[in-house]
Amino acid sequence: MLGDSRSWARAFVAATAAGVILGLVGPFGSFYNESLPVLVAYWVVALWLGTGLLGVTLRLALARANGWSLPRALGLVTVMSALSALPLAVVCRVVALALWPGPIARIGWSLWYGQTLLMSLCCALAYGVLGGYLRRAPVPPALVLDPGQPLKAPASGSFLDRLPPALGRDLIALQMEDHYVRAHTLVGSALVLTPLHQAIAELGAVPGLKVHRSWWVARAAVAGAVRDGRNLRLRLTTGLEAPVARANVAAVRAAGWLVGVD
């Protein structure tokens, strides 16, 4: 729900870059402060604080809003951003007053909070749009299957109830993408905000294996296997290929999915 270490690392790298840019540009009149290194450091630290606070708040809000309509999800994100901006504005103002007491004292609290809220909403919008939280992934065109290899896996499990009806319930594979799971079916794919292990647990009796730390494959979807040097991949009935981690090769072979592959 709160994301993995890689997503947080990317967020803080982006915050650092944005902080440096803001320090050089000097928005909201901050360019009047004479020390450029201090100004850059201030904006970097402010963006770090915002990333930590907003990151937790937005992840919780968007997990709650999963499956909501866009206006409703935007409303929740706006409210949570406004609430998060309050402590962020207080901390940043205290730091700014310590660094530049004269200029900052002339800025009223309402204006200061408004500036903080504006930046928080911009960050929330970028986070939501770039992460794909506020829109459901489009369903790609239907895939062409070999009619001799129909998918026969039973369509059961609560996870399948979370998929758009247009995707059907013939699950091919689950692929982890950051803190999302991309569900592949016969007719396309869609993103669902959930950890991979939770999605697998919700599948219930649907037969399949976790073949990689970021992939689960339905048993009935396996058409064969291919080797590329030391790497193994499962070829699925739709033409999709899923990597097999070395630690999972024995289990995949025991399941009979690597016939003809040394």
The pLDDT assigned to 68 comes to: 63
Q: How far is CA 116 from CA 85, 128, 223, in A?
A: 6, 18, 54
The pLDDT assigned to 173 comes to: 94
Q: Indicate whether 33 pLDDT > 80.
A: no
pLDDT, average across residues 201-221: 90
pLDDT, average across residues 21-49: 78
Q: Indicate whether 29 pLDDT > 90.
A: no
Give the whole-angstrom CA distance, residue 229 versus residue 236: 19
Q: Indicate whether 133 pLDDT > 50.
A: no
In this prediction, residue 76 has a pLDDT band, given cuts at 50, 70 and 90, of confident
pLDDT, average across residues 167-185: 89
Considering only 43-52, 170-179, 193-202, 224-233, which range has the smallest mean pLDDT? 224-233
Q: Indicate whether 126 pLDDT > 80.
A: no
The pLDDT assigned to 141 comes to: 38
The pLDDT assigned to 90 comes to: 93
The domain ranges of the chain are 5-131, 158-254
Q: Indicate whether 156 pLDDT > 70.
A: no
Contacts of 186 (CB under 8 A, 6+ apart): 142, 143, 145, 151, 168, 170, 172, 238
The pLDDT tens digits for 103-116 are 788 888 899 899 88
Q: Indicate whether 64 pLDDT > 80.
A: no
Q: Indicate whether 102 pLDDT > 90.
A: no
Mean pLDDT (the chain) is 79
Count CB-CB contacts under 10 A for residue 32: 9
CB 218 within 8 A of CB 208: yes
**What single-letter amino acid sits at 204?**
G
The pLDDT assigned to 28 comes to: 67
Percent of the chain with pLDDT over 90: 14
Give the whole-angstrom CA distance, residue 243 versus residue 215: 8
In this prediction, residue 36 has a pLDDT band, given cuts at 50, 70 and 90, of confident
In this prediction, residue 144 has a pLDDT band, given cuts at 50, 70 and 90, of very low
Superfamily of domain 158-254: LytTr DNA-binding domain (2.40.50.1020)
